[in-house]
Amino acid sequence: MTRSLANAELVIASHNQGKVREIGELLAPYGVEVVSAGFLGLPEPEETGATFVANAELKARAAAMAAGLPALADDSGLAVEALNGDPGIYSARWGGPGKDFDLAMRKVAEALGDHPNRRARFVCALAVAWPDGEIATFEGTVAGDIVWPPRGGQGFGYDPIFQPLGHTITFAEMAGDAKHQLSHRADAFRKLVAACFP
């Protein structure tokens, strides 16, 4: 059984403020005090894993060891069917050194061209690591379609070009509460909550 995180202090192993904010909102009902790796000045480890889960584990372990606290890492990205699952684990890197997601979204649109298959999915792997080496992982997904041009000013990353199945608006056009109901991160969080908040 996974250890409880109720009322814990937890390091969010990310320097991405959009991601830290979203994770903080998802954890707020559970009395968890969160602090970001960026705020603590922790270095970002190189993501050398071949999967979302491997990269999440790598980041969580590094933050837990450096901070001496439990750490939660998220590795997530966009997998486009017609692009053989790209950008996948390289989703942030498609934005170049500055992680420019306007550039990354343009690259996806250009790579797709007029391909009739617009199907994609967001994938999120969460890893919780404790300083003594224990680790637990949870994975979530949400299916949708790539739209162009980008729409909406909410969210972050690829949200403006991702329209979840069954909806007529993109993640970036949704209020945070609506996105939290169906996102890949929310799917993974439901699994984490069931395991870590008994």
Catalytic residue among 75, 86, 159, 187: 75
Phi, psi at 50, each rounded to 5°: -95, -5
Q: How far is CA 87 from CA 32, 56, 181, in A?
A: 32, 17, 24
Q: How far is CA 117 from CA 83, 92, 161, in A?
A: 10, 23, 14
What is the C-alpha separation between 62 and 130, in angstroms, rounded?
10
Residue 194, token pair as written in the block: 């069931």
Closest alpha carbon to 185 in 32, 25, 51, 74: 74
For residue 75, indicate whether it is catalytic: yes
What is the C-alpha separation between 75 and 52, in angstroms, rounded?
5
> Do the strands 119-129 and 135-146 form a parallel or antiparallel pair, or are they unpaired?
antiparallel
Residue 141, token pair as written in the block: 């997904």
Catalytic (active-site) positions: 75
